[in-house]
A = this chain, B = another copy of it.
């Protein structure tokens, strides 16, 4: 399997709200240069730069140089790995949801967790 994927490291990269938002944005808007990625946050450029470096080390993004900009892009492989990982849990979460299953089958009009 994907023995080269260090899942705790990847999850650690996604564990910060800023980094998570960056990843989500790259999914929704496609590749973006560092400056534009930084713009929505009221955080210094060096802080963003370090977040991006961490995402890159975890293999979630890559940076390429384009003229005077560093453009960030999601790396497909890592997301494929994450998908494979969570798929292993399908047999568990997808069975006998009992009274929860109707709710979820409705395709998430809302969530159903009452634990918090």
Chain B residues, Cβ within 8 Å of A111:
1-5, 77, 81, 83, 87
A102 at the A/B interface (Cβ < 8 Å)?
Answer: no
Mark A86-114 against chain B: 1 for CB-CB distance below 8 A, else 0: 11111011100100100010011001110
Residues A92 and B7 in contact, CB atoms below 8 Å apart: no
This chain: copies in complex: 2
Residues B93 and A83 in contact, CB atoms below 8 Å apart: yes
Main secondary structure of the interface of A (DSSP, over half): helix
Chain B residues, Cβ within 8 Å of A19:
8
Name 21 interchain pairs, CB-CB below 8 A, sorted by A: A7-B20, A8-B15, A8-B16, A11-B14, A11-B15, A27-B88, A27-B89, A59-B115, A76-B92, A76-B93, A76-B97, A76-B100, A77-B100, A77-B111, A78-B113, A79-B93, A80-B94, A83-B89, A83-B90, A83-B111, A86-B86
